[in-house]
């Protein structure tokens, strides 16, 4: 179940703000915006399936809920790091097993 917000085009499902009808998380768009320095127009170019209205709404949501979205981004980055470490460990174990 998703909850509508005061931000047109943004819904929150299970505590995660998402751009309505796209499946894209607000945090995904924000990561691209911040890491690449992309403007709303460039984000639109990179994601032609999104409207400028959706993009501006997602960015407005981010700036009004920055701490929450930043915490979500940090949790995702920590999970990716954890998965990478697990994969390294598995690959090492596999190589050691093969060399016996």
pLDDT digits (tens, 9 = 90+) for 27-79: 999 999 999 999 999 999 999 999 999 999 999 999 999 999 999 999 989 98
Q: For the structural domain made of 2-98, what CATH number should be given? A: 1.10.10.10
Take residue 97 and report the two structure tokens written for it. Answer: 């097993």
Between 15 and 70, residue with greater pLDDT: 70
Place of tokens 């697990």: 86
Averaged pLDDT, 83-96:
72
Alpha carbon distance 84, 87 (integer Å): 5
Please tell me the predicted confidence (pLDDT) of residue 96.
67
């Amino acid at each position: 179940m998703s909850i509508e917000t005061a931000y047109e085009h943004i819904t929150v499902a299970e505590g995660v703000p998402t751009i309505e009808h796209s499946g894209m998380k607000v945090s995904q768009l924000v990561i691209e915006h911040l890491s690449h320095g992309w403007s709303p127009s460039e984000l639109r170019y990179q994601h032609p399936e999104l409207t400028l209205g959706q993009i501006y709404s997602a960015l407005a949501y981010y700036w009004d809920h920055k701490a929450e979205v930043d915490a979500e981004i940090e949790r995702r980055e920590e999970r990716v790091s954890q998965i990478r470490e697990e994969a390294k460990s598995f690959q090492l174990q596999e190589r050691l097993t093969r060399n016996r």
